[in-house]
Structure formats: C-alpha cells, structure tokens
Amino acid sequence: MINAFTGWGRSTAGVMTMEYMKDHPLSRFFASVGILGTQKHVPEPQLIRRIYRLLDQGRSVVIYPEGGRRWDGRPAPWIEATAKLFVRAGVPVYPIITHGSYVGWPRWARYPRPAHIELEILPALSFDKKTPLEEALSILKAPVSSDENLVDEAIRPKSAFRPAVGLEKLLYRDPESESSGGIRTVGGDRIESDSGAFDGRVLPDSRIQLDSTGDIVLTGDLYARIRALPYHDRPDRPRIQVRCKIKGEIDERPVSERHAQLSLYASHLFIDGAEKYHIDLEKIRFVSTERNDKLTLSLANGSLSSHFSTGGSVLQWFDEIHRIAPNIRG
C-alpha cells in the first residue's frame, strides 16, 4: 500500500524478521527490493550500516518500531534501538497509520476478514541528533498511539469467515475463573468460557457480543483484564505447560525436539523430550513471539525456538516470562 505512492523503481526498502527472509516463499523477492533481515534480539551494527547505505542511496526505509504486529490492537513497547536510529539518521521520519489493519486481520486470527484499510501518512518529524531519547520517544509515539480496536464504522468488516478461530491465543485465561485455557472457540464464530461470563458471539470485527447481557466488548479490554490476573505459585508445579517443537542450541549443543513438553516454573524452564534440559530464567536475555505460534528465546549460552503447532498461546508464555523476570528484554 505504501509503495502505491512511490515512483516506478523506487519501492521502499525495510526491515523484516529474519524468519521470513530465510523460510518465506517470497524471501528472494524481499531481498531483491532491499528488505533487510533482523533477529531483533541481538546487537546488529551491520544492519544499521546497511540501513544508512540505503538512506544514502535516497531510498525510503519502512521500519515497524514495535517489532511486529500488535496482538491486541493497542500500542506496544518500542524497540529502543529503532528509536535511536530514527533520531540519529538525519532524515525526515514519516509516521504512518494503517487504519483497519487489526480489525481486518488480527495477529491471533487464522483467517482474514473482507476489510477496508486506510493508509494515513502524517507530516514528517525531524530531529537534532542530540535530542534525548526519552524526548524523541514521546514525539515519535504520539502520532501512532491510537487504539486499533476503535475504527470508523465504514472500515469495520461486515462479514467474516470463522472470526473466532484463534482468539484463544489472545484470551488465554478466563478473566473471571482465572483458569488457563478457560476460553474456547465453538463453531467458528462463538466463544465459551469456564465461568460462563464471556460466552458469546464473535462479530466480524472481532468484538464480542455477550449472551448474558447483549453488551459488546473489545478483545483488547478482555486481554487487559487477563494480563492483570495474579498467578498463585507452587514451587513443585509449573505455571504453564505446552507440547511443542523445539529447535536451537544450548552450550553449543544442537537441540531438536519434535514432541517435547515445555514447562515454566517460577525459577526455570524445563524441556522434557528425548533429552531433558533445565534452563534458569536468569540465563534468558531476550524473548519474542514470531507470527502467532512461535516463541523465541535468546540465552546466555545459545538460543531456542519453540513452535506451538498443536495449541497453547505463545503470548501467554511471553507475558508470564516477563511477569516472573521483568528484566528480560522483549
């Protein structure tokens, strides 16, 4: 959509998660137009140099400062290194808003909705290279801090195929009963909850109409309630568990488990597969979610990628790891 406004042969370059640059069917095309791969969780001075070279060539570079699509349609923390780049690059920064992207295809959803998307390119921002980072962040965030759950009626999808499918990846606990996995999708357009308080129909724009009251609630509001729920620790039991595929390395030893059980305790992760691994949380340097089914961990002595192919919520793991160890970046 952005390239619809550029001249022929002047397509925008940009930055994309390395996963798509390696395994995606369009990876060669991405690379040919100047898309650069990033790992997000490691220092990448060479990536910054390549971005500067593109700018020197007069290219426009598109960067998503939150590092990926929003899970709940609401502003997420920025990647600090990206904000520093915006300030120090010495070129105008154009904030861009894609109205309707969340209601058109939420990150957690399996299927897109027939939607109208509006692209809004805002006036450029310019910075002195000496601008303090906190001041720059405040200036940069303000134009793009809108809640994507709230859009004009003309943009809201009027129909959708199985709009509830995948919602359990976002609403991973019942806000009333506090049970993990307490919200389930039924028939493609409904959800049921352990408490019964959130049984209802999922509308084409992903809002939920409750059976009990007829009220329409936002998925973003329910997710906010879930994030505020407490956990009651028991040292002998995991907070959450999931069966998944795991690849990576620990202490320079390759790890490949097709059917492992991953458990999160208050002090460590435990992998129970063909081999067993105990990973102290203090050894985790960075955690991120890729797409809506992959959890990536950068460790002091390696890295791990866990693919939740048979269920479970990578967002729940992301949130709970940060709840236990808030100093972990991500």
Cα–Cα separations (whole angstroms), residue 22 to 30, 37, 39, 153: 10, 9, 11, 39
Whether 153 maps to a domain, the answer reads: no
Out of 159-168, 219-228, 281-290, least confident range: 281-290
Q: Can you tell me the distance from the alpha carbon of 26 to that of 317, in angstroms, rounded to the nearest whole number?
A: 29
Judged on CB neighbours under 10 Å (0-12, 13-18, 19+), 289 is buried
Same domain, 252 and 221: no
Question: Above 80 in pLDDT, residue 7?
Answer: no
The range of the structural domain enclosing residue 220 comes to 167-227
Whether 159 maps to a domain, the answer reads: no
The per-residue DSSP string of 142-154 comes to GGG---TT---TT
pLDDT in tens, 245-259: 999 999 889 999 999
Same domain, 13 and 62: yes
Residue 50 DSSP symbol:
H
Could you give the angle at the alpha carbon of 178 between the alpha carbons of 172 and 180, nearest 5°? 40
pLDDT of residue 316: 97
Q: β-strands 268-272, 294-299: how paired?
A: unpaired
Whether 161 maps to a domain, the answer reads: no
Same domain, 209 and 255: no
pLDDT of residue 40: 65
7 contact partners, CB below 8 Å, separation of at least 6? none
- Phi, psi (degrees; rounded to nearest 5) at 75: -55, 140
Q: Which residue has the higher pLDDT, 275 or 5?
A: 275
Whether 105 maps to a domain, the answer reads: yes
pLDDT in tens, 85-106: 999 898 999 999 989 999 999 9
Last residue of a domain, one of 144, 176, 195: 144
Q: What is the mean pLDDT of the chain?
A: 91
pLDDT in tens, 183-213: 999 999 999 999 999 999 999 999 999 999 9
Whether 177 maps to a domain, the answer reads: yes
pLDDT of residue 49: 92
Q: Please count the structural domains in the chain.
A: 3
pLDDT of residue 220: 95
Same domain, 136 and 18: yes
Question: Above 80 in pLDDT, residue 9?
Answer: no
pLDDT of residue 11: 84
* CA-based end-to-end distance of the chain: 28
Long-range contacts of 194-202 (CB under 8 A, 24+ apart): 198/171, 198/174, 198/222, 202/163, 202/164, 202/167
Same domain, 135 and 172: no
Q: Can you tell me the distance from the alpha carbon of 324 to that of 112, in angstroms, rounded to the nearest whole number?
A: 34
Q: Can you tell me the distance from the alpha carbon of 15 to that of 61, in angstroms, rounded to the nearest whole number?
A: 8
Question: Above 70 in pLDDT, residue 43?
Answer: no
Taking only Cα atoms into account, the Rg of the chain, rounded to an integer number of angstroms, comes to 21
For the CA atoms of 69, 72, 73, 75, the dihedral, rounded to the nearest 10 degrees, stands at: -80
Q: β-strands 13-17, 35-38: how paired?
A: parallel
Question: Above 90 in pLDDT, residue 10?
Answer: no
Same domain, 223 and 244: no
Residue 9's SS3 state is: coil
pLDDT of residue 22: 74
**In 3D, which of 114, 207, 201 has the Cα closest to residue 155?**
114
pTM, two decimals, is: 0.92
